[in-house]
Structure 1
Amino acid sequence: MTALEFEIIGEDTLVSIDVQHLYNAGYAGRDQAAVRHHIEELAELGVPAPTTTPSLYPVSSYLARQSDSVEAQHERTSGEAEWGIVIAGPNADDVLLTVACDHTDRALEVHGVAWSKNAGPDMLGRRAWRLSSLGGRVDDLRLRAWVGQERTLIQDGRVGDLLSPQYWLDVLAERGERHEGVALISGTIPMIPGVDQFADRWEVELLDEQTGESATLSYGVERMPVPIG
């Protein structure tokens, strides 16, 4: 269980939540034909195909973090720009939407996607909207990521490129798992070709261009010492 705290955008409010269950969505693009093409590309790199799409991976709740750094065991780890929902109570207004970044072990990913999801943290922003406050403009929120000290743009899309927060809330409800203490992050949008994802810094932004409000996160990637043995 992990304790997180969110500043609610548009309110003078802080909401604290103990994350008891954490889920990572995968292969969650709204265009599932493009998702299937991406799966074929990954298969050529040795990444095993999922048995169904979209996918949903339960991960250890302690991996939900609000932090300025990630410790990595080797050089082949990278983030993914995502949004996250956190259920902070029983009512519709208690569902929070924030920015997220799934830091994934790419070397382990070729042996099992679910394993790789449990090998790194899910980073979450410190600001969040009440999902109900956004109304119909949720899909229009812009999702971007930059890497390295030079802030090279690596991802740029919209929430609407992915299956919606409501889609996943419905899935959780069907599984009997839509309750306080549950967090879910969305799966990611495509990376810009030619940009090195194995960078020493990641920054992700979820931006409401209509109001100028945003939820952001940034962290450095720190290599752990070489093991003995």
Structure 2
Amino acid sequence: MLTFTHDNGEFTIDIQRVAIAGWAGRDQAGVQHHIDELKLLGVAPPSQTPLFYRVSRETLTQASQVAMLGGEGSGEVETCLVSDAEGTLWVTIASDHTDRKLEAVGVAESKQLCAKPIARHAWKLSDVIDHWDSLQIESEIEDAGKTVRYQQGTLAELLPVATLMERLPAAIAKDGSLAPNSVLLCGTVPAIGGIRPSPSFTMRLMDPILNRSIEHRYVVEELEVVA
């Protein structure tokens, strides 16, 4: 169960389905950039774009500290659609934290291995859909003891909500939308300076039109790998 606050209260949702939209850039040059940066890590290119990776609902967490196996993982800020029990769509942010070493073996497997931190606040999609492309996402990491900008972009760089809804797999769709009690991570923007791990990850979704933001930070507890 996850609980989200919003401008008029809160709601709790029993998540049944979680999917991650991969290679979801609107600009194909940007998609290729992300494919190329992952190729440097040994990750095979996708069979098609976008792809929707399923992960278990247990991977979602609103905790401020998460345990990850080994030190090869890194976060990615993503806009996130949440469909509540009535099918109403909400917007928040989540991190597609991924084990990069395992990603070279199998993308789907690497996504399932890691927790997916998600923020505690959400906005109604209907309140932002008319200026969706103006929404901004960004993230920060710790690098050499300093806090540095890791990602920055607008949702104009990613596929529109309508396009994602049209392409949803049947298992997570209902009546042309995201099925109730489901969560969809909607894609990310390239990393500044290349993909790399960090002991903490801070992510934000900013609405310059309504002058508000959603932020979530989590610290990574690195679990040792033994043989």
Using the size of structure 2 for normalisation, the TM-score is 0.90
Where in structure 2 are there 5+ consecutive unaligned residues?
none
Question: How far 1:120 moved relative to its partner?
Answer: 0.5
Where in structure 1 are there 5+ consecutive unaligned residues?
none
CA distance in 2, matches of 1:171, 1:90: 21
Moved over 4 A (4+): 173-176
Structure 1 residue 163 and structure 2 residue 159: aligned? yes
Question: How far 1:164 moved relative to its partner?
Answer: 2.0
CA distance in 2, matches of 1:14, 1:47: 40
Q: Give the corresponding residue for 2:188.
A: 188
Superposed CA RMSD in Å reads 1.9
Q: Give the corresponding residue for 1:204.
A: 203
CA distance in 2, matches of 1:153, 1:51: 31
Preserved contact between residue 77 and residue 104 of structure 1 (Cα < 8 Å): yes
3-state SS of paired residue (1:136): helix
Q: Give the corresponding residue for 2:43.
A: 47
Q: Give the corresponding residue for 2:179.
A: 179
Preserved contact between residue 79 and residue 92 of structure 2 (Cα < 8 Å): yes
Q: Give the corresponding residue for 1:36.
A: 32
Preserved contact between residue 86 and residue 182 of structure 1 (Cα < 8 Å): yes
3-state SS of paired residue (1:157): strand
Q: Deviations over 1:121-147 (max 9, x none)?
A: 111111111001113211111101001
Q: Give the corresponding residue for 2:141.
A: 147
Q: 1:199 to 1:176 in 2, by over 3 A?
A: closer
Q: Structure 2 residue aligned with 1:84, among 52, 56, 80?
A: 80
Preserved contact between residue 90 and residue 179 of structure 1 (Cα < 8 Å): no
Q: Deviations over 1:149-192 (max 9, x none)?
A: 63311101011111123322233376662321110001210111
Q: How many residues align?
A: 221
Preserved contact between residue 172 and residue 182 of structure 2 (Cα < 8 Å): no
3-state SS of paired residue (2:113): coil
Preserved contact between residue 134 and residue 156 of structure 2 (Cα < 8 Å): yes
Identical residues among aligned pairs (%): 33
Matched letter for residue 193 of structure 1: G
CA distance in 1, matches of 2:123, 2:167: 21
Q: Give the corresponding residue for 1:136.
A: 130
3-state SS of paired residue (1:151): strand
